[in-house]
Structure 1
Amino acid sequence: MAELGPENLLPVVAAELNQPYTIGDGVPEELQAAARYGQVPNMFPYRMQDGYTREAAPREMAAVVLDNSKLRAVILPGLGGRLWELFDKASGKQLLHTHGAPQLANIALRKAWFAGGLEWNIGTRGHSPSTCDPLHSAIVHTPDGQEILRMWEFERLREVVFQVDMWLPADSDVLYAAMRLRNPNSHDVPMYWWSNAAIPETPRTRVIAPADEAFGSDYATDITRVRPTDYEGIDGTWPVRSPHAADFFFDIDPAERRWVVAADDDGDGLAMLSTSRLRGKKLFVWGQGHGGQRWQEWLSPGAGPYAEIQAGLARTQFEHLALPAGAEWSWVEAYGNGRLDPETSHGTDWDAAVAHAGARLKELLPNEQLEAMLPAAIRNADVPPSTMLGLASGWGAVEKARRRHNGSAWLDESGTPFADESVSAEQRPWLELLAGQDFGGAASFVAGADWEELLAAAGNNPEARFHLVTMKHARQDLAGAIAGYRGLLQDPVATSATQALTRRGLALALFATGEDAQGLAELATACRLEPASIPLLTEAMTLSIRHGNPAQALDLAGRAPEGSAAVGRVRFLTALALARSGRVPEAARILRDGVEIPDLLEGEDALSALWQEVCPGEPVPPAYQFGMH
């Protein structure tokens, strides 16, 4: 596996995520309203995780194994608490898509992500901010004698605490996971949760859920109500039949049991069951086109194709639900081998396949038995850890200190302690600010009105002023941001690095208000102040091209330190700038020599588009075919 690398020091301030979702015919107004609710402009105060490469090497990673006579589960607390393996001993099969070489790629909300296993997604639509971060982890011994693996963290975007308790009773056919979300705030919080399982995609894999219709999205057209078994002339419940990437959010009647199951040639495959709060069930496929196959090889080299089945709070992933002030939500999920009869599950009679799968899952785990586990799971959620296994970030400890400082409520930490030992150099400046000490700056960021008040009270401190204006920018106070950035640039005390970030921030705010020429000039100055910053260089080149000045992009690349030109994103942007400058043969030469972009964004088909532009009539090389549709 590649190293995650350093986090990007550029604050995430631009409005990047607030994209309206196109809702088509047949979608209820309730769903449309939930899709409009809770949108965020960006992932501030998080920093992006884009310092990785595709240069893999052997790595050791702490794992927790839950084992009984039926199943063997392997969990990675250091990588978002990912359930990495679920091995069914009777069939000898891995129920999850898993492999020995996880490949980091730009798929998550903070960019870095890897395919495989079962992950926990919280915050807003996308793969979780914590997907490549450690979670606090511990072993818990409950009063009834059960051993539980507990993982938890403070989620900074929504300011909530999430908790995952996992256990595997002796001789159980299923692995259990109890989730708890807690909102310590005095206001409602838009909430999003999806448990996302990657499953092996075989030629005979079929996915079944108790619904005739779904809300469909094919990454190219509106979200509409569709019949998965008759979608664009194919039965989309067979992943191998989908010509392109697609989502199917099964519209399960509230009176029905919540489940989704995959079945291979033998009828074996992952079953995901849940108590009633987890309403949504989904199938995602990459599709059988060149792009879908290329993405799967890019994400899971040599490991074979996969699809995904998922379970979430809402009917679709376009929605947020309101978690009330001071409230907590809990539910239980279960995972095991559905062991369906292949003849019935793979037959042409969908109703018969659904009825059969429902009966088999009732044998696997009766719904009454699963629902009866919820009260005990809620009680056990506050049982203190018996043995700590690992610490995660110190942001939970900082949040506790912040609330103590301003007199606001916090939550009971009995079951999920945020230890002072978790605080690192990343969080320490903010604790010092809370303690009334001089603020000497920080590479990390925070958000919230009380933080802004503390920074404003720090006086004529350039580092405090920089963070204050950055926070205004992140919440899209563009006028305040522009005024603050310009004022800070008059301060001769600010360091070169702070001046560079200030000019970069000013440039982004100017672009957002239509002042492109000034924005381009500020970007160029920022790059001259910090010439070794690859993230700043690639962002400046991208924006220079986007705003009609490819010559500036080429100039910035030419001034960058030796070695910068070899960076995949820089090579691509150089080729793109050459093409936009009319220097097509030079652009084509770069593409023919080969370009690999480690942080290629999901759905980004820029390599193929540029090839077709500069090498017209020549087939696009397979390595450049990432189109999902």
Structure 2
Amino acid sequence: MGPDNPLPPLSPLDEVHRIDDRERDDMPRDMARQLGLDPLHSLLPERVRDGYGRTREPMSLDALVIENDRLRATVLPGLGGRVASLVHLPTGRELLYRNPVFQPAGFALNGAWYSGGIEWNIGATGHTALSCAPLHAALVPAPDGGQMLRLWEWERLRDLPFQVDLWLPDGSDFLFVGVRVRNPHERPVPTYWWSNTAVPEDVRVLAPAEEAWHFGYERRLRRVPVPAHDGIDRTYPLDSPHPADWFYEVPDGRRRWIAAPAADGRGLVQTSTDVLRGRKLFVWGHGPGGRRWQDWLTEPGTGGYCEVQAGLARTQLEHVRLEPESEVSWLEAYGPLDTPREGEWSEVVRTAEERLAAVLPRRRVEEAYAAWKPYADTEPGERLATGSGWGALEVLRADWKLPGTPFPESTLGEDQAPWAELLRTGCLPEPRRVRPPHPTLVAPHWRDMLETAPATPHTEYHLGVAQWHAGDRAQAVRSWERALPLAPSQWPLLRCLGVADQESGHLERAADRYAEAFEDLCRERRDDGETWTAAVAALGRETLQALLRARRTADARAVWERLLPAVRRRGRFRLLEAELLLAEGRRAEALAVLGPDLEVADLREGEDVLGRLWARLTDEPLPARHDFRMRPDTP
């Protein structure tokens, strides 16, 4: 994974799943309300994860395997608790898309995400910030007398603990998954959940719906018929030309399920209790942008994938209100289904529903949920993996009782240590050695503690970040400016002030702040180790961007020359080099940078920076290797 970006993400969240407000006028009232329910505007207190590359080599991953005589599930506790494989043992058939590589890419809310398997998305619209993070894992008694695998963690964007319990009853063809999200706060919290399953894309996706809400990365959400739209049967993933989401409108009272049979009729089905309302198909399509993304995220020549998903709301652009001191829970089931996929839509769906009822009656899913609920509070037994210490810090602060999901003080680590001391003493400790600042906590209770702590430069820095997150930008700037004269390390404060200047349109002053910050960091850095290199690279990147916006080409060139050669070779920095060369009038050299060996490892979903830069340099068509366009109208 490499090191996280040490700079607090102060800029607005770059999330492609947004729609124009006027689109809500013709939507159901509850849907329109949930579309506007406190969407996420900031990534804080998370950090951006962009330290990975694209050099591939053999590696080992810790895996937990649960199996009965019918199924084998392989879970990766260190990578979001993802179910990487689900094999039907009697046939030897893999029911999921099992990615042959672990390749991080810029799709999660905080950056790093990878494709394949079943992932658990909590937090806000998008792939969870826990996509590539470790979860706690342990064994727990199961309702049938066997054992469950429990995964749990503290989701920091919404400050909510959650758990995922997986078990395989003897003789069952279905993996049961009990999920619970709790709100321990005395205030309501917007909640989001989508279970995302990757399956091979040479399938037909079936769901009990005649309509869907279509999102095509054009800031529009439209109700369209199912299965055909614009003359194309969209239930065949490879028939769609462009990447798109199809959120199925499953009628009230209808059983919730989604299936993906291959040409021989065999494939995966997912079903759940009714709380998990939404069902979705995501396709990459057969266009050049979607195919390029498939190769980028997987291994060329190994076959692509689509995603079948299930969530708390109709669409992933919505959030659901979770009342104070309450919880929401449900049960999911994953297993094989043999059903014909060709024919008239309503008949194909009816047959699939009948076959699902035969192998897993709706009543059995409800009974399994009722049987699981009393076990959700059972304390874990043997610990199999350890997640973060953030949950332990929150439990220490509020003395919350969360049966079934313990967050012991023993899990507190280096990142939590300063905040635990603030909690105990009322003072945020000064760093014991010169280093980039530790992560900032921004929730109201931590901000209140920072406001009453002694006003050291270190405390003022973190207070300013928390105030910025709360929307009090003028006060944040005052906190950073107040700290600047006495701060032994000035570059973190100068960088924050540079961001504030950029957001307010003062580009020249922002460039000055950034240039001064970069100079101060270069003086302060102690070595070329991972931590300092990550700091210089992150600040160098933002400084180059600020100087280029202000048209200060010579200053940008001076910053470029001070970066380590290994940093300058990274794809994102080669893009900046091309922009710098273009600003210097060296168009041919800039175009040469965009050669066949250019790979921007942290390219984000929906980001068209390569296409825009190519169009500025030449009238030639965009090469296929650089075509990551998600929308048909992108230049």
**TM more than 0.5:** yes
**Does structure 2 retain, via aligned residues, the 8 Å contact 1:95–1:337?**
yes
Which residue in 2 is equivalent to 1:64? 64
**Structure 2 residue 223 is matched with structure 1 residue 225:** yes
Which residue in 1 is equivalent to 2:179? 179
Q: Report the Cα offset of residue 610 of structure 1.
A: 2.0
**Structure 2 residue 4 is matched with structure 1 residue 7:** yes
**Structure 2 residue 622 is matched with structure 1 residue 623:** no
Q: Deviations over 1:234-277 (max 9, x none)?
A: 01100010000010000001110000100101111111101000
Residues 214 and 487 of structure 1, relative CA distance in 2, 3 Å threshold: same
Q: Report the Cα offset of residue 46 of structure 1.
A: 0.9
Q: Report the Cα offset of residue 30 of structure 1.
A: 2.4
Q: Which residues in structure 2 correspond to 1:547-626 (within 5 Å)?
A: 549=552, 552-592=555-595, 594-617=597-620, 619-626=621-628
Which residue in 1 is equivalent to 2:19? 21
Which residue in 1 is equivalent to 2:394? 399
Instruction: Tell me how far apart the structure 1 counterparts of residues 100 and 429 of structure 2 sit (CA, whole Å).
Output: 45
* SS of match in other structure, 2:266: coil
* SS of match in other structure, 2:500: helix
**Does structure 2 retain, via aligned residues, the 8 Å contact 1:541–1:553?**
yes
Q: Report the Cα offset of residue 142 of structure 1.
A: 4.0
The code of the aligned residue for 1:596 comes to E
Instruction: Tell me how far apart the structure 2 counterparts of residues 288 and 459 of structure 1 sit (CA, whole Å).
Output: 59
**Structure 2 residue 292 is matched with structure 1 residue 331:** no
Residues 355 and 144 of structure 1, relative CA distance in 2, 3 Å threshold: closer
Q: Deviations over 1:143-175 (max 9, x none)?
A: 651210001011111111100000001110110
Which residue in 2 is equivalent to 1:470? 465
Instruction: Tell me how far apart the structure 2 counterparts of residues 450 and 173 of structure 1 sit (CA, whole Å).
Output: 47
* SS of match in other structure, 1:12: coil
Q: Which residues in structure 2 correspond to 1:78-97 (within 5 Å)?
A: 78-97=78-97
* Aligned pair partner of 1:424 in 401, 404, 413: 413
**Structure 2 residue 342 is matched with structure 1 residue 346:** yes
Q: Deviations over 1:554-580 (max 9, x none)?
A: 342133234332121111111023224
Q: Deviations over 1:35-83 (max 9, x none)?
A: 1112122110111111111122222222111112221111111111000
Which residue in 2 is equivalent to 1:509? 500
* Aligned pair partner of 2:430 in 435, 440, 457: 440
Instruction: Tell me how far apart the structure 2 counterparts of residues 353 and 550 of structure 1 sit (CA, whole Å).
Output: 62
Which residue in 2 is equivalent to 1:165? 165
- Any runs of at least 4 consecutive aligned residues in structure 1 with deviations exceeding 6 A, and if so which? none
Residues 428 and 152 of structure 1, relative CA distance in 2, 3 Å threshold: same
* SS of match in other structure, 2:594: helix
Which residue in 2 is equivalent to 1:411? 401
Q: Report the Cα offset of residue 334 of structure 1.
A: 0.2
Residues 41 and 611 of structure 1, relative CA distance in 2, 3 Å threshold: same
Which residue in 2 is equivalent to 1:308? 307
The code of the aligned residue for 1:236 comes to R
Residues 549 and 226 of structure 1, relative CA distance in 2, 3 Å threshold: farther
Q: Which residues in structure 2 correspond to 1:379-394 (within 5 Å)?
A: 379-394=374-389
Q: Deviations over 1:221-245 (max 9, x none)?
A: 5111011322222011000100000
Residues 25 and 306 of structure 1, relative CA distance in 2, 3 Å threshold: farther
Q: Which residues in structure 2 correspond to 1:99-498 (within 5 Å)?
A: 99-142=99-142, 144-202=144-202, 205-302=203-300, 303-341=302-340, 345-347=341-343, 349-404=344-399, 410-412=400-402, 414-436=403-425, 439-441=429-431, 443-491=438-486, 494-496=487-489
- After TM superposition, the structure 1 stretch with the greater mean CA deviation from structure 2, 278-287 or 572-581, is 572-581
* SS of match in other structure, 1:526: helix
CA RMSD of aligned residues (A): 1.8
**Does structure 2 retain, via aligned residues, the 8 Å contact 1:24–1:222?**
no
Instruction: Tell me how far apart the structure 1 counterparts of residues 248 and 259 of structure 2 sit (CA, whole Å).
Output: 12
Q: Report the Cα offset of residue 615 of structure 1.
A: 2.9
Q: Which runs of 5+ in 1 are unaligned?
A: 405-409
The code of the aligned residue for 2:488 comes to T
Q: Which runs of 5+ in 2 are unaligned?
A: 432-436, 523-532
Q: Report the Cα offset of residue 613 of structure 1.
A: 2.7
Q: Report the Cα offset of residue 451 of structure 1.
A: 1.9
Q: Report the Cα offset of residue 26 of structure 1.
A: 4.0
* SS of match in other structure, 1:9: coil
The code of the aligned residue for 1:484 comes to S
Instruction: Tell me how far apart the structure 1 counterparts of residues 371 and 555 of structure 2 sit (CA, whole Å).
Output: 62
* SS of match in other structure, 1:383: coil
Residues 221 and 188 of structure 1, relative CA distance in 2, 3 Å threshold: closer
Instruction: Tell me how far apart the structure 1 counterparts of residues 378 and 277 of structure 2 sit (CA, whole Å).
Output: 27
The code of the aligned residue for 1:411 comes to K
Q: Report the Cα offset of residue 546 of structure 1.
A: 4.5
Instruction: Tell me how far apart the structure 2 counterparts of residues 624 and 217 of structure 1 sit (CA, whole Å).
Output: 23
* SS of match in other structure, 2:338: coil
Q: Report the Cα offset of residue 550 of structure 1.
A: 5.2
- After TM superposition, the structure 1 stretch with the greater mean CA deviation from structure 2, 423-432 or 579-588, is 579-588
**Does structure 2 retain, via aligned residues, the 8 Å contact 1:554–1:578?**
no
Which residue in 1 is equivalent to 2:537? 534
**Does structure 1 retain, via aligned residues, the 8 Å contact 2:396–2:409?**
no
* SS of match in other structure, 1:402: helix
Count of matched residue positions in the alignment of Structure 1 and Structure 2: 609
Q: Report the Cα offset of residue 356 of structure 1.
A: 0.8
Q: Report the Cα offset of residue 92 of structure 1.
A: 2.6
**Does structure 1 retain, via aligned residues, the 8 Å contact 2:121–2:194?**
yes
- After TM superposition, the structure 1 stretch with the greater mean CA deviation from structure 2, 583-592 or 193-202, is 583-592
**Does structure 1 retain, via aligned residues, the 8 Å contact 2:142–2:167?**
no
**Does structure 2 retain, via aligned residues, the 8 Å contact 1:84–1:118?**
yes
Residues 486 and 166 of structure 1, relative CA distance in 2, 3 Å threshold: same
* SS of match in other structure, 2:415: coil
Instruction: Tell me how far apart the structure 2 counterparts of residues 80 and 174 of structure 1 sit (CA, whole Å).
Output: 22
Which residue in 1 is equivalent to 2:529? none
Instruction: Tell me how far apart the structure 1 counterparts of residues 479 and 204 of structure 2 sit (CA, whole Å).
Output: 56
Q: Report the Cα offset of residue 515 of structure 1.
A: 1.8
Question: Normalized against structure 1, the TM-score is what?
Answer: 0.93
Which residue in 2 is equivalent to 1:407? none
Residues 474 and 25 of structure 1, relative CA distance in 2, 3 Å threshold: closer
Q: Report the Cα offset of residue 376 of structure 1.
A: 1.9
The code of the aligned residue for 2:580 comes to A
Instruction: Tell me how far apart the structure 2 counterparts of residues 369 and 82 of structure 1 sit (CA, whole Å).
Output: 25
**Does structure 1 retain, via aligned residues, the 8 Å contact 2:19–2:219?**
no
* SS of match in other structure, 2:585: coil
Instruction: Tell me how far apart the structure 1 counterparts of residues 107 and 488 of structure 2 sit (CA, whole Å).
Output: 34
Instruction: Tell me how far apart the structure 2 counterparts of residues 163 and 365 of structure 1 sit (CA, whole Å).
Output: 24
Q: Report the Cα offset of residue 521 of structure 1.
A: 1.1
The code of the aligned residue for 2:484 comes to L
